[in-house]
Structure 1
Amino acid sequence: MSGEGITMGAHRYYSHRTFKASFGLRLILMFCQTMAGQNCIYVWARDHRVHHKYSDTDADPHNANRGFFFSHMGWLMSKKHPLVKEKGKTIDMSDLEADPLVRFQRDWYFALYISIAIVFPVSVPIYFWKETFWNSLLVCYFLRNVMVLNQTWTVNSLAHIWGNKPFDKNILPSENPLVSFLTAGEGWHNYHHTFPWDYRTSEYGTTFTGTTMFIELAKSVGMAYDLKTAPNSMIIQRSVRTGDGTPIHTTSQTNGIIEGKNQANGHTKLR
């Protein structure tokens, strides 16, 4: 739940607006994002928008050029670089400032965090399964927090250091299958930084991205709509123009287009 609050909520919906959501879905996403304990939606989305606009520069909150530890968790233990503060003030946050749920969570974050991230998950095993308080606190709060936090942080560290770059070889974000496995699809990072508005965050659809599946499930019940995608032709052309030659995944409908590009450019392959 808390993981999807970050990937589907804070990231794909609130930061990038890759789809539109009903009030009910927004309420669920706010609840789950609060449970994750990664600051309020407003701050998370602001930092992420700065990260995309100034990726891996001194204005990036978790600049991967400062090393693995810094991009993984060190940035949360350090004072922000002056450029992070300066550029953060220039980011358009009007959409979130106009959202009453986002404002409510920001204004009451501490109380909501205590009740949703600590009291609620710890109380469930105690009430339903007669678990001890200490066991429940250890597993449902501390262990869960450590796992979810580190899974999220791998996107900023591992996926900015190791992996292929089939869409843009000139940036650090990379395609990292391990990170995608740990984060329900957030590790296809070269694709995501190239096409940040695409709700799928990858070329694979739902095959390797659990969060994409949840978004499509929400769409099927009328809670999500206007899902944004990058056109296949744009994906192919960008891969040919700036990719590192790594094979890209395609559907049968686009194979002919790519084969033509292969002959013209001699490096992009089908998978």
Structure 2
Amino acid sequence: MMTEKPRIIWLNVAIFSLTFAVAIIGTPLYAYYIGFDWVQVLGLVIAFCCCGLSITAGYHRLWSHKTYEASKPLRWAFAIGGTFALQNSILHWSSDHRIHHRHVDDNDKDPYSAKRGFFYSHIGWMLREYQKSRYRDYTNCRDLQKDPVVAWQHRYYVPLAIVTNVGIPLLFGLIHGDIWGALLLVGVVRLVLSHHTTFFINSLAHLWGSQPYTDKNTARDNGLLAFLTFGEGYHNYHHIFENDYRNGIYWWQFDPTKWLIKSCSWVGWTYKLRTCPEDRIEKAKAAMVHQRLQVKLAAMPESQASLARLDAEYEALIAKIADYYSAKKRLLELKKKKVLKHCESFELIQQYEDMKQRLDLQRKAWKVLIAKYA
């Protein structure tokens, strides 16, 4: 017996198809016959960045995951920018995203499961009404329903979407003196870029890249995608440490969303920034290396001695990580309370330095072992 296909959402099909067609056909024709100047290109870049950061810093890290808190003016700015990005309301977007994290890769429950293929996870899931309850059940976002900014944007999303996506490019065109060029570049091209770079996180970031922290789901870390998506490409890290306001945790990783959130905290616009404890991150990376080397060594002849050494070095590393970070945490807590006497402070610092030295030596031994079997 054939099952009936879910209803096609014709509005979404029309928006995605028409904007893409106009962008790839209309833009080169307009550029050839009329041309764009640097002001229009700059307008495109600024509009694209505003949309992208409103989704990544606002919809994603602020509202979906509550990784930090933001002042009301900043929340309003993200709400308007997210509407301009035309990716549904904060409430609906966050509800979908929370379901995705709770049921990642579950073909029946994950709204954009990567295991259903690239097209489905990239855009196909929005072209049919696969899960009707998604459009009326927001019980997983009761906290967001209490936010007046979220409630207002959800209530007036359609008129706001029309005003921003038509009004902003039109106003830019009137000021600049080229209405059609602005509607094309700042309106349509910006929208297509905003859509598909964001959609890459649901599709490519679950198919292409490395898994340094976990292989329990399909999420990957990918530096190129991070560049295209304002830092969201470090997706393997995000799926195991979703409550961290950072995706790229190292200084050299491209994560402008993290930089925006952090810099806003210096002037009080963001606060209560949440990060994952360093020991959990280091342990997760070590566990993945250990797991992969176990599989590799098990397939080699006379592997018992190598496996035993691997396990011993791994257990020593985990123990020293725990000792070091425990000593560091205790020292910081007592310093913060200002209850340390000079002699006690000296003793604790010595213990901390000793733990740090032992961990550094164990890290070096672990790296040598990894290099040997890599």
Identify the residue that residue 91 of structure 2 maps to in structure 1: 42
Matched, 1:97 2:145: yes
Identify if the C-alpha distance between structure 1 residues 43 and 259 changes in structure 2 by more than 3 Å, giving closer, same or farther.
Answer: farther
Matched, 1:260 2:362: yes
Letter in 1 for 2:149: L
Equivalent residue pairs, number: 258
Q: Please state how far the C-alpha of 1:24 moved relative to its aligned partner.
A: 1.1
Identify the residue that residue 161 of structure 2 maps to in structure 1: 113
Deviations 1:62-106 (A, max 9, x none): 110010111111111122247xx48x9485211111011111111
Aligned to 1:118, what secondary structure does the other structure show? Answer: helix
Percent identical pairs in the alignment equals 35
Q: Please state how far the C-alpha of 1:202 moved relative to its aligned partner.
A: 2.6
Aligned to 1:218, what secondary structure does the other structure show? Answer: helix
Aligned to 1:162, what secondary structure does the other structure show? Answer: coil
What's the TM-score once normalised by structure 2's chain length?
0.64
Aligned CA RMSD, in angstroms, stands at 2.6
Higher RCO (Cα < 8 Å, 6 or more apart): 1
Which of residues 68, 73, 77 is equivalent to 2:118? 68
Identify if the C-alpha distance between structure 1 residues 135 and 95 changes in structure 2 by more than 3 Å, giving closer, same or farther.
Answer: same
Matched, 1:139 2:185: yes
Identify the residue that residue 272 of structure 2 maps to in structure 1: 226
Deviating runs (4+, > 3 A) in structure 1?
88-91, 242-246, 253-259, 261-268
Q: Please state how far the C-alpha of 1:242 moved relative to its aligned partner.
A: 3.6
Indicate the structure (1 or 2) with the bigger Cα radius of gyration: 2
Which of residues 214, 223, 226 is equivalent to 1:168? 214
Q: Please state how far the C-alpha of 1:193 moved relative to its aligned partner.
A: 0.2
Q: Please state how far the C-alpha of 1:233 moved relative to its aligned partner.
A: 0.7
Asked if the contact 2:95–2:138 (Cα under 8 Å) also holds between the matched residues in 1, the reply is no
Query: Which has the higher mean CA deviation after the structures are superposed, 91-100 or 40-49?
Result: 91-100
**How many Å separate the matches in 1 of 2:166 and 2:256?**
25
Identify the residue that residue 198 of structure 1 maps to in structure 2: 244
Greater helix share, structure number = 2
Asked if the contact 2:92–2:138 (Cα under 8 Å) also holds between the matched residues in 1, the reply is no
Aligned to 2:140, what secondary structure does the other structure show? Answer: coil
Which of residues 120, 124, 130 is equivalent to 2:177? 130
**How many Å separate the matches in 1 of 2:75 and 2:147?**
10
What's the TM-score once normalised by structure 1's chain length?
0.87
Q: Please state how far the C-alpha of 1:124 moved relative to its aligned partner.
A: 1.5
Identify if the C-alpha distance between structure 1 residues 90 and 97 changes in structure 2 by more than 3 Å, giving closer, same or farther.
Answer: closer
Structure 1 runs not aligned, ≥5 long: 247-252
**How many Å separate the matches in 2 of 1:17 and 1:46?**
13
Identify if the C-alpha distance between structure 1 residues 184 and 51 changes in structure 2 by more than 3 Å, giving closer, same or farther.
Answer: same
Q: Please state how far the C-alpha of 1:170 moved relative to its aligned partner.
A: 2.4
